[in-house]
Amino acid sequence: MVITILILMLVIGLLVYSKRRKKVPQGLKVFDENGNTVIDLTTNLTCVLGVKTYSQNEINNFVRAHGRNSGVVYDTITVNMPAGYRLWAYCICPRFDYFLGEQTIVAIVSGNQINILVKRDGEGNSTVVWGIY
């Protein structure tokens, strides 16, 4: 009787231990209609690398000197990033002109560089946030 109880406890202990060792995958996967992975956030998470703020005065002085929509690059940010990652950038402007459909500044990503173009006069500080994914 004692041997049976010990064997039963050993079996239950092994079952509990084996269940504890299994890991549940975490993250998000998005598939297209053919079952191909489109987005896999289990291995590729976004990381913010930097932030730069441009004052209203410096943007307005640039517009006075070069004009709007001239295509002149106002600033270039070069990012040192690990191999296999891609760069992203996002502009935060205090006012989006819905009538003209444009922000104060625009960030254009090319390789490991972010080119900042001034599109219109500023009405407050504008910020560029960039990172990798």
The residues pairing with 118 across neighbouring beta strands, listed in sequence order, are 105
List of residues 6+ apart from 67 with CB closer than 8 A = none
Each residue of 41-74: pLDDT tens digit? 665 567 899 999 999 888 888 888 887 665 678 8
Phi and psi (nearest 5°) for 98? -70, -30
| Rounded mean pLDDT, 78-103 | 80
Distances (CA, A) of 88 to 78, 84, 116: 12, 14, 13
Residue type, 68: R
Q: Would you state the pLDDT for residue 104? A: 82
Q: Where are the alpha helices (DSSP H) in the chain?
A: 2-21, 56-66
Comparing 16-20, 22-26, 32-36, 110-114, which segment has the lowest mean pLDDT? 22-26
Angle 107-86-55 (CA atoms, 0-180°, nearest 5)? 25
How far, in Å, CA of 3 to CA of 52, rounded? 71
Tokens of 93: 């402007």
pTM higher than the cut 0.75: no
